[in-house]
Amino acid sequence: MTKKYRDKEIEYEKKGQFDRDLNEDHRVFDARDIGGKFKYLPSTLWERLRRLFLIPAVKFFGSIYTFFAYGFRVKGKKNLRAVKRGAISVCNHVHEIDTLMVKLALGGFRTFHTGSYYLLKKGWAGRIFKSGGFIPVGTTLKDLENLQNAVKTLLARKKIVNFYPEHALWYRYEKVRPFKIGAFRYAAKFNAPVLPLFIEFRETKLRRFFKMQKKVILHILPALFPETDGPLKQRAQDLCDRAYAAMKQKYTELYGKEMVYLTEIAAPDGSFASETA
């Protein structure tokens, strides 16, 4: 991570702007149009064939790459046993290839991933991305309706739909940022369990000696099941709060300290010094 991004993380955390992108210049001119007759899920024969060959290749080469580059490991796989039906997974958005890591952890064919619409590009790159299980999140009411229908269909097919409720990617940021409620609305509305995923960065003597980045470990936490009574908003907020609390507790367990956001403390000279947990 460059110093520029780290400085932005510190600045945004001080201001409480946890959902602000570190890179705000998004390339949208080559984004694929998701209006009109665009199908959110792989539907044609060619899309299904691409998916059939793509997912095993991603699993094979992705597993090798993430292991040697990041020492990637998955813990808590036993918690997947409780998820016999479709589920919503939520993960802290802290690595440039965390989508690949989630897919490796939960199963390539079973997992679909949501992301901003402009990540789905025109041409072959976009076709491959879509066949891999990418679901675009648009900006219009029609886009959101189509997204909801896609999520409903996937949950009925016993798939897992992954969301990043923190919204923005903050590179190798260890704390859990406040969640947006959107993913939890789908879980509450369609009575689907929520599977919290927590990405940990662990420094080892070997990686420190070779000046390598910290090891990446993805923890699958126990599934959370929605309440069946009460207004939708209340049930969604309850799921959101419980998922956030579970991931915050995991942070404390793994890093051995309470999770406290940056605060600004006035120094004697009138300047501000940042303090982190």
- Give the three-state DSSP class for 31: strand
CB 136 within 8 A of CB 120: yes
CA angle at residue 16 from 10 to 17, to 5 degrees? 80
pLDDT of residue 190: 97
- Enumerate the domain spans of the chain: 3-275
Q: For residues 22-31, give the mean pLDDT.
A: 85
Q: Is the pLDDT of residue 264 over 90?
A: no
What is the second-level CATH architecture of the domain 3-275? 3-Layer(aba) Sandwich (3.40)
Q: What six digits make up the tokens of 79?
A: 């918690």
pLDDT band at 269 (very low <50, low <70, confident <90, very high): very low
pLDDT on residue 66? 97
Helix (H) or strand (E) holding 263: strand 263-266
Per-residue pLDDT, 268:
44
Tens of pLDDT, residues 44-98: 999 999 999 999 999 999 999 999 999 999 999 999 988 889 999 999 999 999 9
What pLDDT, on a 0 to 100 scale, did the predictor assign at position 28?
87
Q: Which three-class secondary structure state does DSSP give residue 67?
A: helix
Question: How far is it, in rounded angstroms, from Cα 19 to Cα 255?
Answer: 23
* pLDDT tens for each residue of 162-196: 999 999 999 999 999 999 999 999 999 999 999 99
| Short-list 180, 201, 247, CA closest to 220 | 247
- CB burial of residue 226 (10 Å; 0-12, 13-18, 19+): buried
Residues 6+ positions from 229 with CB-CB distance below 8 Å: 235
pLDDT at 164: 98
Banded pLDDT at 239 (limits 50, 70, 90) = very high
Q: Does 2 score more than 80 pLDDT?
A: no
pLDDT confidence tier of residue 263, bands split at 50, 70 and 90: low
pLDDT of residue 1: 57
